[in-house]
Homo-oligomer: A and B are copies of this chain.
Amino acid sequence: MSGPAQRRITIKEVAEAAGVGVATVSRVLSGGSASPETREKVFAAAARLDYRPSALGRNLRRQRTGGVGLLVPDITDSFYARLADGVLSCARSYGEPVTIGVTGDDPEREAELIGALIEQSMDRLIAVPSGDGDMWAPALRAGLNVVFADRRVRTDVPSVVPDDRAGVLTAVEYLAGLGHRRIAFLARHGQSQRVTAFLSAAASLGLPVDRDMVVHARASRDSAYAAAAGLLQHHSDVTAVLAGGNVLGEAAVLAARELDVRIPRDVSLIMFDDVPWAELCSPPLTVIAQPAQDIGYRAAELVLRQGRRPPAVTLPTRLVVRASCGPRVAPRRSS
């Protein structure tokens, strides 16, 4: 089983072994000035004892915890997993550990997790915010260094987000170019950015803008499926749908199969977020690819780099056309 759990060795013992004072050891090990010979003695002693400075002691003294917190709605969602991978990758190059929490898109849980984080004296946080911007006031006041990723809910907090407006516009233009006029947007709650982009894109292309062409779902798979099925059933006039995320897209193809709506013959589908299975799907899905990993990486850079912080960075999306969109045919018959 576990060994005798030897006590961890402290700076004091290193000092003793090297025949110097603790202050000197600390100075040498953090790159301060010292005579070459003491430096040598200290390094030798530290190496011989396999000394690892305790982050606890350091942080307590320094009044700040290294490391960054990361809050995502659902680590199981490929998009957030890739985003997390990006921040992990950046944080690793800074040698900073990252503590992760999943909010389930629930503002209450989010607040809870923020509390836990500041209890750990974490002073840097990357978050995909769930609620509206107001609930962040206390955290900000507590001195937390926040960067938003994927969603921008406050203008006074740096954020890195995909270019929703351009992405939506590209998608809608593409569909309109194929002759579609009744295009629906399957959105997750909170995607107001994309919804307004969708409405204005439709308007600018002379398409009929109709408030109930946008259908909302909560973040869960079940809710997404219900919304997709509802859309496909009750709006037999729509000939194309734009899904606001990969779980919405998945729900849409599942619902379409169940309802015997063929893609792309009966309706065309574009999904936000390129995931590995989009190509494996039948039919392969045309998508708006988002740089999820970059978003995470850049957000981590923003929060880890001390310097000036640009208020917002927007990363481009890209249309990847596969086989889920076709020319508009006659509207489906009402079911």
Contact = CB atoms under 8 A, between A and B. Distances in A.
A5 interface: yes
A96 B68 CA distance: 16
A59 interface: yes
A36 interface: no
A306 interface: no
Interface string A70-81: 000011101001
A104 to B, nearest CB: 10
A97 B97 contact: no
Contacts of A144: 2
Interface in A175-212: none
A226 interface: no
B95 A97 contact: no
Contact of A56 (B6, B60, B143, B280): B60
A254 B284 CA distance: 12
Given A52-B115, A81-B81, 16 more contacts: A3-B141, A8-B121, A8-B143, A54-B121, A56-B56, A56-B59, A60-B60, A74-B85, A75-B84, A76-B78, A97-B99, A97-B116, A98-B100, A277-B281, A280-B280, A280-B282
18 contacts: A2-B140, A2-B143, A3-B140, A6-B141, A8-B118, A52-B118, A53-B119, A54-B121, A56-B120, A74-B85, A75-B85, A78-B81, A88-B100, A88-B102, A97-B116, A277-B280, A280-B282, A282-B282
Interface of A: 1-3, 5-6, 8, 52-57, 59-60, 65, 67, 74-76, 78, 81-82, 84-85, 88-89, 92, 95, 97-102, 115-121, 140-145, 156, 221, 250, 253-254, 275-277, 279-283
